[in-house]
Amino acid sequence: MLRRPVELAQYTSIKLTEHLALEDIRPSIGSVGDAYDNALAETINGLYKAECIRTTIFHTGPYKTIADVEYATAGWVDWYNNRRLHGTLGNVPPVEHERAHYASLTEQFQPA
């Protein structure tokens, strides 16, 4: 009897859940059937492909090696976190917004 892909996915999910429980790790997943957990990852992957992979902003010419992709990816991640202007954050880069947020907190609430 052939296994259907759903059964294999369920088996994998059960094994992962058991492993996480053994290691006392809480999974970062929502309720069964919701798509919220995957939405952020899909959004970032789409931005990465559009802004880094399918353009020559972070590299010149076609990618020839894995190192080319890794170097362009590092440049994109640096730009995305440190220099990208974010409209929802008042047109400041995310890292500046985060610094301002933590500076506004009292010392007892600041991360270690």
| pLDDT digit string, tens, across residues 66-108 | 999 999 999 999 999 999 999 999 999 999 999 998 888 866 6
Domain locations along the chain: 5-109
- Please write the tens of the pLDDT for every residue from 2-13: 555 545 455 567
Region 42-46 average pLDDT:
91
DSSP assignment of the chain equals -PPPHHHHHHHHHHHHHHHHHHTT------STT--HHHHHHHHHHHHHIIIIISSSSSSSSS--SHHHHHHHHHHHHHHHHHT--BGGGTSB-HHHHHHHHHHHS-GGGS--
Would you say residue 34 has pLDDT above 90?
Answer: no
Q: Name which residue leads in pLDDT, 41 or 58.
A: 58
The predicted pLDDT at position 90 comes to 92
